[in-house]
Amino acid sequence: MLEKIDHADDIVELRLDRPPVNALNPALVKHLDEAIAEAQVAGSRALVLSGRPGLFSAGLDVPELLELDEAGMARFWKAFFGLLERIARSDIPIVTALTGHSPAGGTVMAMFCDYRIQAEGDFRLGLNEVQVGLVVPPVIHRALVRLIGPYPAERHLVAGEMIPAEEALEIGLVDEARPCR
């Protein structure tokens, strides 16, 4: 579900490994939250969140989440927003290596990191929740405004379109683009 890779200079990479699309379910959210906490306690100097080449994360595992009862869904949302808070409040830098496509929840997770590197190529990312009838929670809306500004954020959320990686770089949704290794 999650591969831990130790790099030089006490940098730890946490690679999402939940085939086929690294969809975020309760177990992956829990593993990721625990791995970030452990890396911080272990003295890591920085964390990198990544996926496999071509796909960072397809976002939330909606089919699995729809099987949860009301209490299970409440636990999931608490855990997911707790993960976002852990990322945002981290004492060490957390970088997202967007290794490919990253719709919805994948982009959301990246927005709470300190820095976002997008793989170059014909990849798309963004918040497409309105396309499937979901409302973007206020904390996620504010995170998007922080990155790209109020008007561009409003336009992005109203359209709910996945945007090309090049455009994400132009508007500030990602900080840089690099070839994926």
Nearest to 3 by CA among 20, 21, 18, 16: 16
CATH number of domain containing 76? 3.90.226.10
Q: What is the pLDDT of residues 88-102, one digit of tens each?
A: 999 999 999 999 999
123-133: average pLDDT:
89
113-120: average pLDDT:
97
3-class secondary structure, 172: coil
DSSP label at 48?
E
The whole model's pTM is what? Answer: 0.94
Query: Is 73's pLDDT higher than 90?
Result: yes
pLDDT at 131: 85
Active-site positions?
60, 105, 128-129
Note whether residue 118 is domain-resident: yes
Query: Is 181's pLDDT higher than 70?
Result: no
Note whether residue 59 is domain-resident: yes
Note whether residue 96 is domain-resident: yes
108-129: average pLDDT:
96
Note whether 96 and 116 are within 8 A (CB).
yes
Give the separation between CA 39 and CA 20, rounded to whole angstroms. Answer: 26
According to DSSP H, which parts of 57-174 are helical? 62-66, 70-88, 105-111, 138-148, 150-159, 165-171
Residue 11 structural domain: 2-125+164-178
pLDDT at 98: 97
Note whether residue 142 is domain-resident: no
Number of domains the chain is built from? 1
